[in-house]
A and B are shown apart, each in its own frame.
Chain A
Amino acid sequence: MKTLKYTLLLALIALSISCSQEDEEFYNAVYTTIPGLVSIEVQSDYQVNDVLWLNTNDFSRYLNEPNQTSLLDVYQTTNSQKFSFLYRLERQVNGEWENVAVGTNFVEDNGTMSIGNYVTANAIYNSNTEMYEFRGGLRLTQAGQYRIGFFSGYNGSNFDVISDSSNNSTFLTIATTANNVTNGFYAFTVN
């Protein structure tokens, strides 16, 4: 009876293994690197209550993909109405970089933003312009040393812009860059 129990247990374990094998793994995803999809609207100087704007003015539906002779149609690939990327605002306090709680100090000009511990920027597809459009800003409420930080992308550098693909459409992750960003940060001073 004991051995029968062990055999049944083994059978259950094997059943569970057989239900979660390679064929269950996620396969429908493409990763590529296309620089320059995000722009920081750099000013020569910043004053308190200025807004630091970011945009995706160069994020067309059709993008140059490395090592390909044809443009990549990201909308046809993903059927995604939006692409998202993350960033955060930090302020230097006593020599340490601290996350700034953005709260309601943000402005949506185009696309949408959601604010938590970091900012999620959503570039929304415009079928007329065939662009993924975003322009959003953070209001700088205090003087000091600041920096915008991006999270490392799938390739270990850059940062990711990720599609919001529906059910059986391909998920697309694009490692991209922004202007004036060094080692993942754009640093500036608010006077």
Chain B
Amino acid sequence: MKKFIFIFLVFTQVSVAQENNSFDLGKNEIKFDIVSLVALGKIHVSYERFLSNDFSVGISGNFNQSKSREEDFELGKNRTLEEYQIIPFVRYSLSKSQIRYYFVEVFVSANQGKYRELERLVDQNNNGYYQALQKEYSDYAVGAAVGHKFYIKEKLGVDIFVGMGKNLFSSGESPDIISRVGVNLGYRF
């Protein structure tokens, strides 16, 4: 029994020490979001550069590839269709551990897409009619997110985050709110 307790204590000490150790995990990470691809039909790739144990900066690209969303838009079921977002971000770690931590993030998003707007037009016989016309929008959003990150074997990173941003220059063209959600699988080097 004493042996078992001794082994348990040694093991937990090692675990705690490992959590608090400073690792050389590398400064760079590339990431791919499988959940966005499967659930939303978006290609979402990111690069993150670690400036210190607490701060990192990065950039994400979000590209819509969903045929069903495009079809819904063409059929008039959705008002907007986001085509892409470019998202520079800054993250701050809320935990001391480098291999498992929570973070907060602020980001800006340059986003572009299509939208439909009803307009009253006049035909060649001078009769009016309403039609939803397809147009392009581009906007810039600011927002924030929170997330959790952990590493498997100190190289493979998993980060899960949720957040949203507000488009700044929307007057009915672009969506008011954009979401920032993802489950990234990354490789740190």
**Docked complex Cα distance between A68 and B121 (Å):** 11
A65 is an interface residue with CB less than 8 A from chain B: yes
Interface string of A1-38 (1 = CB under 8 A from B): 00110011011011101110111110110100000000
**Docked complex Cα distance between A68 and B80 (Å):** 28
A73-B127 CB under 8 A given contacts A14-B179, A22-B176, A28-B118: yes
A44 is an interface residue with CB less than 8 A from chain B: no
Q: Return B73 CB to nearest CB of chain A, in Å.
A: 9
Q: Would B116 and A73 count as touching, CB distance under 8 A?
A: no
B81 (CB) vs chain A CBs: closest residue:
A23
Q: How many residues of A contact B (CB 8 A)?
A: 34
Q: Return A172 CB to nearest CB of chain B, in Å.
A: 7
Interface string of B143-154 (1 = CB under 8 A from A): 000111000000
Interface string of B105-116 (1 = CB under 8 A from A): 000000000011
Please provide the chain B residues from 158 to 179 with a CB less than 8 Å away from any CB of chain A in the complex.
160-164, 175-177, 179
**Docked complex Cα distance between A70 and B129 (Å):** 9
A11-B181 CB under 8 A given contacts A25-B79, A168-B76, A172-B130: yes
Q: Name the residue in A14, A25, A65 with the highest tally of chain B Cβ atoms < 10 Å from its Cβ.
A: A14
Q: Would A23 and B127 count as touching, CB distance under 8 A?
A: no
B24 is an interface residue with CB less than 8 A from chain A: no
Q: Would B181 and A28 count as touching, CB distance under 8 A?
A: no
Which residues of the partner chain B approach A56 to less than 8 Å between Cβ atoms?
A: none
Q: Would A70 and B160 count as touching, CB distance under 8 A?
A: no
Q: Would A10 and B79 count as touching, CB distance under 8 A?
A: no
30 A-B pairs (CB sep. < 8 Å): A3-B102, A7-B147, A7-B148, A8-B160, A11-B161, A11-B181, A14-B163, A14-B164, A15-B35, A15-B39, A18-B179, A19-B40, A21-B176, A21-B177, A21-B179, A22-B79, A22-B80, A22-B177, A23-B78, A23-B115, A28-B118, A28-B132, A70-B126, A71-B128, A73-B123, A73-B127, A73-B129, A167-B76, A169-B76, A170-B131
Please provide the chain B residues from 74 to 115 with a CB less than 8 Å away from any CB of chain A in the complex.
74-82, 102, 115
Complex partner residue of A30 from B79, B118, B122, CB under 8 angstroms: B118
Q: Return B168 CB to nearest CB of chain A, in Å.
A: 15
B30 is an interface residue with CB less than 8 A from chain A: no
Which residues of the partner chain A approach B120 to less than 8 Å between Cβ atoms?
A: 68
A167-B75 CB under 8 A given contacts A3-B148, A22-B175: yes
Which residues of the partner chain B approach A28 to less than 8 Å between Cβ atoms?
A: 76, 116, 118, 132
Q: Name the residue in A7, A25, A169 with the highest tally of chain B Cβ atoms < 10 Å from its Cβ.
A: A7
B183 is an interface residue with CB less than 8 A from chain A: yes
Q: How many residues of B contact A (CB 8 A)?
A: 40
**Docked complex Cα distance between A7 and B159 (Å):** 10
Q: Would B127 and A76 count as touching, CB distance under 8 A?
A: yes
Which residues of the partner chain B approach A21 to less than 8 Å between Cβ atoms?
A: 175-177, 179
A84 is an interface residue with CB less than 8 A from chain B: no
Q: Return A60 CB to nearest CB of chain B, in Å.
A: 11
Which residues of the partner chain B approach A168 to less than 8 Å between Cβ atoms?
A: 74-76, 132
A181 is an interface residue with CB less than 8 A from chain B: no
Q: Return B154 CB to nearest CB of chain A, in Å.
A: 18
A77 is an interface residue with CB less than 8 A from chain B: yes
Which residues of the partner chain B approach A23 to less than 8 Å between Cβ atoms?
A: 78-82, 115, 175
